[in-house]
A = this chain, B = another copy of it.
Amino acid sequence: MKNNTVLISSRIRLARNFANMRFIPVMTEEEKENLKEKIHEKLKKNNPFSLDYINMESLDSVHAGALIEEHLISPDFNGNKKGEALLINHGEKISVMVNEEDHLRIQVLGNDGNLEELYSKAKALDEYFDGMMPFAFSEKLGYLTCCPTNLGTGLRASIMVHLPALTECGQIDNIAASFSNIGLTVRGIYGEGSQPSGCVYQISNSVSLGVSEKEIIKLLEKALSQLEASEKKLREKLVRRPGVEDRMFRRYGLLKEARMISSKEATEYLSDLRMGACEKIFDIPADKIDELSVKIQPYNIMLVEGEKADGAARDRKRAEILRNALSGN
């Protein structure tokens, strides 16, 4: 069962490279195309995870942007780009980026905190690809990766967490510092180099070498339960402050009625709404708010409105989506 007070989603990512093949930075265009084609061919013959093959060169920036907003591909994995491919099972939230930083980036997302289960899924995918061609593996170092930070297990386990009370009470820097000491990194909403948005953070293991997969997962699970406890404690006080309660309700009213709203403003207000929903102030499932938070992102709106929808048109559509979603409440 998902305890979604804090948790929005969790993710397991495995970085893998094939043996007897040059690594991405020194690969030629032709080699990249060959790898893509090879995988595509294998997939046509045996596709146990029902992965769709997408040649990123033929994917427009709107569809690519929407996948980034859904956290199914990394922000660097853009559309209209040569040499890359995406294998995806959208419904199952499985994605494999081919020729991103490593030959393969196997990702499995979930919206409960069961990282163990996600890891099992990722491991099954791992074995499937290992069966295609052997991976670059050293007895001493483990899986070889392009960047040394991914060496070893090649595993990055991460949780995306909503921490409005800890943010408002100025606790995030302290948390990031103490997490850093135990091998965890606190990042923005789109991972490395991104800013937090709507009080949402990504927390993941800092190193993948010298620790076992099990240890990494345990570490994240421990972090999640710690965050849940401290966020809960602060939230209970915070939402009882008259000014905060009033602000939450005003923003709720505003989201239900606005005719134009920017992504930044909507995200900020939905953060308050989510906190209020978890604290039983609003009768809206947190899951629904999490879905909305993605649906109102620019590329997701362009998916509906067309890529020519400018900022003003998106702001109007965003307001309409929010009104329709919240009007029943």
Measured between beta carbons, the chain B residues less than 8 angstroms from A210 are: none
Q: Which of B243, B246, B252, B258 is in CB contact (< 8 Å) with A246?
A: B258
What distance in Å separates the Cβ of A275 from its nearest Cβ neighbour in chain B?
A: 15
In the complex, the answer to whether A250 meets B257 with C-beta atoms within 8 Å is yes
Give the complex CA separation of A253 and B273 in angstroms.
14
Measured between beta carbons, the chain B residues less than 8 angstroms from A261 are: 246
Measured between beta carbons, the chain B residues less than 8 angstroms from A319 are: 246
Measured between beta carbons, the chain B residues less than 8 angstroms from A312 are: 242
Measured between beta carbons, the chain B residues less than 8 angstroms from A253 are: 252-258
In the complex, the answer to whether A259 meets B249 with C-beta atoms within 8 Å is yes
In the complex, the answer to whether B260 meets A242 with C-beta atoms within 8 Å is yes
Give the complex CA separation of A250 and B256 in angstroms.
8
Q: Does A173 lie at the interface of the complex (its beta carbon under 8 Å from any beta carbon of B)?
A: no
Q: Does A245 lie at the interface of the complex (its beta carbon under 8 Å from any beta carbon of B)?
A: yes
- Going nearest first, the 10 A-B pairs with the smallest beta carbon separation are A253-B257, A253-B253, A246-B259, A249-B257, A246-B260, A253-B254, A250-B254, A250-B258, A249-B259, A253-B256
Measured between beta carbons, the chain B residues less than 8 angstroms from A257 are: 249-250, 252-254, 256
Give the complex CA separation of A259 and B249 in angstroms.
7
**A257: nearest residue on chain B (CB-CB)?**
B253
Cross-chain pairs A/B with CB under 8 angstroms, 12 sampled: A242-B259, A242-B316, A245-B259, A246-B259, A249-B257, A250-B258, A250-B259, A252-B253, A253-B253, A253-B255, A253-B257, A256-B257
Instruction: Give how many A residues have a beta carbon under 8 Å from the other chain's beta carbons.
Output: 19
Give the complex CA separation of A33 and B279 in angstroms.
62
CB-contacts of A226-255 with B (<8 A): 242-243, 245-246, 249-250, 252-255
**A259: nearest residue on chain B (CB-CB)?**
B246
Q: Which of B243, B255, B256, B259 is in CB contact (< 8 Å) with A260?
A: B243
Measured between beta carbons, the chain B residues less than 8 angstroms from A260 are: 242-243, 246
Give the complex CA separation of A245 and B253 in angstroms.
15
Measured between beta carbons, the chain B residues less than 8 angstroms from A243 are: 260
What distance in Å separates the Cβ of A97 from its nearest Cβ neighbour in chain B?
A: 39
Measured between beta carbons, the chain B residues less than 8 angstroms from A316 are: 242
Give the complex CA separation of A253 and B316 in angstroms.
16
What distance in Å separates the Cβ of A254 from its nearest Cβ neighbour in chain B?
A: 5
Give the complex CA separation of A319 and B319 in angstroms.
24
Give the complex CA separation of A121 and B172 in angstroms.
70
**A326: nearest residue on chain B (CB-CB)?**
B253
Give the complex CA separation of A252 and B246 in angstroms.
15
Measured between beta carbons, the chain B residues less than 8 angstroms from A254 are: 250, 253-254, 257
